[in-house]
Amino acid sequence: MDIRDIHTPVMLERCVELLAPALESRASRERPAVMVDGTLGMGGHAEAFLERFGSIRYIGLDRDQDALRIAGERLARFGDRFIPVHTVYDGIADAVRGAGFPVVDAILFDLGVSSLQLDVADRGFAYAQDAPLDMRMDQSTGITAAEVLATYSEGRLRGIFERYGEEKLAARYARAILAAREKEPIERSGQLVEILSAATPAAVARTGHPAKRVFQALRIEVNGELAALEAALPAALDALDVGGRIVVMSYQSLEDRFVKRAFADATRSTAPPGLPVELPEHAPRFRLVVKGAEQADAAERERNPRSIPVRLRAAERVRAAQPKEGR
């Protein structure tokens, strides 16, 4: 099956529209425009940008080696304009330097679990499919979800379910998991779904799948996603040239709150309260390109259900960093 039949990039046209001004304005200057895709996945966004902007250099980051392989095959026709890098997105600064560029003009983050990870059953990301509880985006390193369930204390499990899943039944689910693992190891997603379902009151079960938030929390814990995002956003903003733009698409509220806060900090004046005139060095470094968070339109949500939860935010660099910021 053609990869384009199983992978539909979310809000593709809106991403192109928002990042095009930064890429086009660079075209007539001394170097080619450079774009970073912090979450390359299967290369759907990458292919569109490389096709539409004929001279750009595209640095694609991904921790998932299967994704890098698939994207590499898909994008091979673009030659050295596509630069794949095996790294988590908080490695963006090293990836940009390693590719030989001092700054970049456009950055895209399409956060969360990819279509590849959801659709390949043996990765264990999807609660609707019985599979080994792995959940590692990079299967060459790190602890699996099964190991988390086998080794974390009741309090620690409750904490990640509350923090990363915003799960109201976190304590109840943590107790159920500890009781179940005393009888046998919890190694498959089907086992975990059964445990959670049995521990869920009937009234709550009718409001949504009982495993959804727990699986989300386990995935975030296994992959250190929020810690990586917290480090990646400032590094990404710092990597942008003046006039450069960043687009971030989030799929759950925790991610979106991180992005909102990072953009708010970057677009805020640093002038001391009461200063009669804002000095240039205190002016905001960035401006918001869209107001608040945008969602996919109704047609896309119907066509591609994975776009339903997306929240898109975008910003543009308007002032160079001061020397003390490392530039």
Q: Token pair for residue 129?
A: 């499919």
**Rounded CA separation 200/85 (Å):** 42
Q: Token pair for residue 281?
A: 């060095």
User: Is 0.75 surpassed by the pTM of this model?
Assistant: yes
Q: Is 216 annotated as a binding residue?
A: no
Type of residue at 235: A
C-alpha of 155 from chain center: 27
pLDDT at 130 over 90: no
pLDDT tens column, 283-309? 889 999 999 999 999 999 999 988 999
pLDDT at 326 over 90: no
pLDDT at 158 over 70: yes
DSSP E strand stretches across 40-139 = 57-62, 82-86, 104-110
How many other C-beta atoms lie within 10 A of the C-beta of residue 17? 12
Q: Token pair for residue 286?
A: 């960035």
**Rounded CA separation 175/186 (Å):** 14
Average pLDDT of span 74-87: 96
DSSP for 268-312, written as a single string: S--PPTT-SS--GGGS-SEEESSSS-B---HHHHHH-GGGTT-EE
pLDDT the model gives residue 50: 97
Residues 307 and 7: beta-carbon distance below 8 Å: no
Q: Is 62 annotated as a binding residue?
A: yes
Residues 326 and 235: beta-carbon distance below 8 Å: no
pLDDT at 72 over 50: yes
pLDDT the model gives residue 5: 54
Q: Is 79 annotated as a binding residue?
A: no
Q: Is 45 annotated as a binding residue?
A: yes
- Residue 270: pLDDT band by 50, 70, 90 thresholds? low
pLDDT at 275 over 70: no
pLDDT tens column, 33-59? 999 999 999 899 999 999 999 899 999
Q: Is 241 annotated as a binding residue?
A: no
- Residue 320: pLDDT band by 50, 70, 90 thresholds? confident
pLDDT the model gives residue 325: 46
For the chain, give me the number of helices (H) and strands (E)? 15, 7
pLDDT the model gives residue 279: 62
Domains of the chain (ranges plus CATH)?
Answer: 3-110+225-325 (3.40.50.150), 119-223 (1.10.150.170)
Asked whether the CA dihedral 271, 275, 277, 279 is positive or negative, the reply is negative
- Residue 269: pLDDT band by 50, 70, 90 thresholds? confident
- The rounded mean pLDDT for the chain is 88
pLDDT the model gives residue 6: 55
pLDDT the model gives residue 209: 82
Type of residue at 80: D
Q: Is 43 annotated as a binding residue?
A: yes
Residues 313 and 248: beta-carbon distance below 8 Å: yes
pLDDT the model gives residue 268: 85
C-alpha of 96 from chain center: 18
pLDDT tens column, 174-188? 999 999 999 999 999
Nearest Cα neighbor of 264 from 282, 291, 244 is 291
